[in-house]
Copies of this chain bind each other. A is one copy, B any other.
Amino acid sequence: MSWTETLAMETLQKERENPAFDVHAMSVAHHGSEEALAFKKRVMLELERDPTFFNDDFYDLTKDELRERTIIKMHSILNWFTTESLDDFQARLAVISVADPGFWTRFGVHLGLFSNAVRSGATSGQFAYWMSKGMLSVRNFYGCFGMTELAHGSNVAGLETTATLDENTDEFVIHTPNLGATKWWIGGAAHSATHCAVFAQLIVKGKRYGTKTFIVPLRDPETYRLLPGVTIGDIGKKMGRDGIDNGYIQFSYVRIPRAYMLMRYSQVTRDGQVFEPPLQQLTYGALLQGRTLMMNDSGNIGKKALTIAVRYAAVRRQFKSDPKNQYETQLLDYPIHQRRLMPLLAQSVAFGFTSQELIRMLAATNQALDALEPGDPKLEQTLELLKSTHATSAGLKAFCTWATLSAIETCRQACGGHGYSSYVGLAPLYNDFAVHCTWEGDNTILALQSGRALISAYQESKNGKTQGEALDYLNRLDEVLNAKCASLDELHSLQGIENGLITATAYFVKLAAEEYDEYMNKGMTREQAFEQCSQIRFVAASVHTALFIFRQFRHAVEKLPESDNGVKKTLQTLCEFYGLWQIEEKAALVLRSGWLSSEQFDHVSRRVTELCAETRKFAIPLIDSFEYSDFVINSPFGRYDGNVYQEYFNMIRRNNPPLKPHPYFERLIKPLIQRPVPEVEDLDEAIGLDEEIDEIQAERREAEQQSKK
């Protein structure tokens, strides 16, 4: 082992000396409890020992090979799925998502999308029926989720697939009327699914009732032959997550029993009566889970990316700031490198705590929804809760997945040229993660939904309605709009930072609402007015979401017990860091709101730079406290022991064995490089064409002369 490697490992070890906090206690804080941390470690160990999850050799696999690998892993996972509590299994999937995003998706479409659709949309008899068919044991049954079409994604109400009741046979006829109505992107459709939860326009007696969900069998589970009228194709290569077999589906007059329509909310009777749900909103609960998962994944994947980039930055040395120094400077000691990575470290911790809170909100909302009975006096209250969870989760999903995608790319670039290597792990991570910004609600649309909710809340508030916790600043609007940062001390306190974000949020929510009113006063429809003010609505949502995250982080930190283990103190620093950095990132908005003065802005920037340097001091112990095993990180740059160069080299040699003979020298390179020099023929000599032309012309002239004579 040469000095490069020894130094690398020693350097990382040294970073762990005298940590600012008890690393285990910090880890417990990130994970919520000792039990949650212990369970995660158990899952990581089980994954690492499971031969089907072997992850050292997939880089050159084709899409087809990757998909086979994914199916092989399914055997293992079904064991846990059928024996573990749902909460434990969800926690297991959250770890798997970090280790193997492609697999997570393939199983997720059955469990998260299909089964959830049935769970939330079926009557209890229907649910029992699909259970008996093997839905949850995954026996002769595999579900996929048929919502998106080629020409319709976000506009679910505009889907064009039809489900027409045939009263003669008591069946629905499922049909794809045109190319644009082809079901598209359907995960698991290409090769895995036996059944599909199809979103289609319900048509009864010639009347359309909007989009409902129908369970449509696709394949014979015995032979996997497609059923009559079902056309399925492979959708092919994607940016990432090639382990999942997305497909397209076209239905040509496919008949299913009437009972295969999910009827918890809407019902169709034997004689063609249609009952619509009294409250359409109650059907939206199913959307919340995906957003919560994505928020959770944002925190976790951010931590994975940072584990790679920060450990590498500690080990990598480049340039000597002083020629007398023995070694070159660690990247982590460069202020600009701290500026690139440290705020993202604070962000990933903030996302982690916010995610814990969102999971709690989701559980409370689902509990309230499940407890609801017909004529329940709590209906109003539950709808409010649902609305609020909706708006909050929409904003969080959008801005946190965007922020994390961008963080992955920053981490990748912070690894310099090596970040472009697949083996370092950040390039595939980017490609896998990118889809989070689009599926389960396009981020731009979700952000605008969140902004719309803010405008509505503002209007309600103007009309005297008191707002809940997340929007409490609207209850004291005049006060917060006129607030100014009183001193640098205020800027250094968590309360002060919160004040700043509140004033900026309130300012832009008000501005958005006023712009909306302006358009309404010009005679636009509500929809048009909302569209016209979309830019400012988007801005309002972005700063509101930052405020929400900061508050969750602050709340989580402040309720930690006082202790001398350094955890609370460190997290307070990170919380200040995240908040001030957000103020700097959104400085134009905070300046505009009047809360911050130009001179104070200079101070914010300087303080953020200081906090980068402070965080750098405990960056490695903080990364350690994220507790991802080398197996899950799967990057030579993110190794716990810091043996970056040797392991990177070994990994590349394992994947590209040096003994392989030259693959195409004889066939392709030799004919190129040893091609003959083209002989330049002297055509004039060979043919003597010009002389011949002269002769021909001379003859012609002569003939002409002759004829003239």
Contact = CB atoms under 8 A, between A and B. Distances in A.
B592 A531 contact: no
Interface in A187-240: 191-192, 194, 221-224, 231, 233-240
Interface stretch (A289-297, A571-579, A651-659): A651-659
Contacts of A405: 409
B334 A534 contact: yes
Contact of A420 (B137, B435, B443): B435
Interface in A131-171: 137-142, 148, 150-155, 158
B155 A319 contact: yes
Contact of A602 (B68, B339, B592, B645): B592
Interface in A636-662: 645-646, 648-649, 652-653, 655-656, 658, 660, 662
B421 A238 contact: yes
Interface string A587-624: 11001101000100110010001000000000000000
Interface stretch (A274-282, A411-419, A561-569): A411-419
A623 to B, nearest CB: 21
Given A238-B422, A318-B155, A319-B158, A62 B63 contact: no
Interface stretch (A177-185, A370-378, A552-560): A177-185
A514 to B, nearest CB: 11
Interface string A43-72: 000000000000000011011100110011
Given A185-B417, A192-B669, A605-B535, A422 B594 contact: no
Contacts of A588: 587-588, 591, 601
Given A669-B192, A675-B139, A62 B62 contact: yes
Contacts of A439: 417
Contacts of A128: none
A488 interface: no
Contacts of A652: 233-236, 248
A39 interface: no
A22 interface: no
A659 B566 CA distance: 63
A413 B431 contact: no
Contacts of A671: 75
Contacts of A531: 321, 334-336
Contacts of A148: 417
B63 A63 contact: no
B442 A178 contact: no
A431 B435 contact: no
A237 B655 contact: yes
A336 B601 contact: no
Contact of A237 (B158, B223, B423): B423
A340 interface: yes
Given A59-B236, A155-B319, A448-B336, A598 B609 contact: no
Contacts of A416: 153-154, 438, 442
A27 B2 CA distance: 58
Contacts of A677: 137, 139
Given A322-B525, A527-B321, A340 B664 contact: no
A5 B179 contact: yes
A233 B151 contact: no
A222 B405 CA distance: 48
A186 to B, nearest CB: 11
A437 interface: yes
A587 B185 CA distance: 40
A178 B4 contact: yes
A395 B617 CA distance: 31
Contacts of A660: 234
B74 A427 contact: no
A420 B148 CA distance: 14
A125 interface: no
Nearest to A318: B155
A538 interface: yes
Which of A75, A151, A405 has its CB near the most chain B CB atoms (within 10 A)? A151
A645 B150 CA distance: 7
A431 B240 CA distance: 11
Contacts of A184: 417
Contact of A656 (B224, B236, B665): B236
Nearest to A415: B438
A532 interface: yes
A191 B60 contact: no
A151 B637 CA distance: 13
A336 B538 contact: yes
A454 B430 CA distance: 34
Given A2-B178, A179-B646, A423 B68 contact: no
A434 interface: yes
Nearest to A527: B321
Given A158-B318, A416-B438, A525-B322, A422 B668 contact: no
Given A191-B664, A336-B448, 15 more contacts: A78-B672, A137-B677, A138-B673, A142-B673, A179-B649, A235-B656, A236-B422, A236-B656, A237-B421, A238-B421, A322-B525, A334-B531, A339-B535, A587-B588, A591-B598
11 contacts: A4-B151, A60-B236, A68-B664, A139-B674, A150-B645, A151-B316, A191-B669, A194-B673, A239-B412, A535-B609, A587-B592
